Amino acid sequence: MIRLAALALLAMAPAADPVTGYQVAPSRADPAVKAFDDPSYVFAAEGLPADAPLAVFLPGTNGKPAYNANLMRFVAGLGYRAIALGYDNDPAVVQVCTADPDPDCASDFREMRTFGTGKSRTVSNPRAEAIVPRLVALLRLLDKEQPARGWGHYLDGDSPNWEAILLSGQSQGAGMAAWIAKRHKVRRVVLFSSPWETSGRERRPAPWISGASATPIARWQAAYNSRENTVPLIRAAYAALGLPAAQVHVLTLDLPPGFGANSPNPYHGAGIRDPRYAEVWRAMFGRGSDAPE
């Protein structure tokens, strides 16, 4: 069934220039990476202008870029260069911080995982293992090996050129995308079923979620399935982010036969894998040629 779904998804991809894809191990981009070395997936259509935007997708807890490859191939067909990026995604922030009385537990956790900096008491990783250094290393490698494809456009010295980059993710990865977009003005943010970490006995959204955002609210898009286990927490988080109802997509389709049969929360991942949501994806990601909001 998964193979059939993948074929259906590829058939729905826009029939413009053909999209090519390949894999890059994080340790090949930066030998300092020792853990979570599942290959990142890279997609680009032939003939894209050098300044076409980049879409970066971050998987959820225990997720691998391979699980999101079909979605990112589809996004590449919308006029983006696209990367499903591997990173240290275990444990999840909700596994670590839900019972922690420190209101900054979640923000400290995400700072460490995304930038490799900060003062987290609950998680530690070398800076090279963090999301942003991994992305920079991959872009440098791609620019070196494929200089004509425009990968250098997404670098600004030692940092990503954030305004040329769309960030997306699912579950823990969506929370990481939101965390970065709060701190840097990105081209667009596309969230699937997260963030939803809480603080205190009242289980209110973690304080960082309602904090100031460098990325204008008009550039945010989000989705969740109405039958996920954590719907109340996701709704509360999207409200805390300040997302208008028109920018929140509620997914309602039944699961395809056999999908998520052994999962305790089977609807949680359906939004990024079920090709019947292709029109929702188009609305959320937009076209690469669209002007930023």
For each of the domains in the chain, give its residue range(s) and CATH number, in order of start.
2-285 (3.40.50.1820)
pLDDT given at position 15: 43
pLDDT band at 202 (very low <50, low <70, confident <90, very high): confident
Predicted local confidence at residue 7, as pLDDT? 31
Token pair 């456009």: residue: 153
58/48 Cα distance (integer angstroms)? 23
Helices (H) and strands (E) in the chain, counts: 10, 12
User: What average pLDDT score do residues 95-108 get?
Assistant: 83
Q: How confident is the model at residue 109 (pLDDT cuts 50, 70, 90)?
A: confident
pLDDT band at 91 (very low <50, low <70, confident <90, very high): confident
- Quick one: average pLDDT of 53-66? 96
pLDDT tens per residue, range 247-285: 999 999 999 988 887 889 999 999 999 999 999 999 999
Whether 185 has a pLDDT exceeding 80, the answer reads: yes
On the question of pLDDT at 231 being above 90, the answer is yes
Distance of alpha carbon 287 from alpha carbon 291, whole angstroms? 9
As a whole number of angstroms, the distance between CA 131 and CA 141 comes to 16
CA–CA dist 84, 172 (Å, integer): 14
Q: How far is CA 221 from the centre of its chain?
A: 12
What is the model's pLDDT at position 58?
A: 98
* Residue 1, pLDDT score: 24
| Residue 217: pLDDT band with limits 50, 70, 90 | very high
- In three-state secondary structure terms, 219 is helix
Provide the pLDDT for residue 87.
92
Any idea of the CA torsion for 43, 44, 45, 46, to the nearest 10 degrees? Answer: -130
pLDDT at 11: 36
Q: Which of 88-97, 171-180, 182-191, 253-262 has the lowest mean pLDDT?
A: 88-97
Per-residue pLDDT averaged across 194-221, rounded?
91
Tokens at 225, concatenated: 């399935």
The answer on pLDDT for 118 being more than 90 is: no
Q: How far is CA 83 from the centre of its chain?
A: 10
Residue 182: per-residue pLDDT: 98
In the numeric block, which tokens belong to residue 13?
């991809």
Residue 107: how many CA atoms within 13 Å on its side-chain side?
A: 13
9-13: average pLDDT: 40
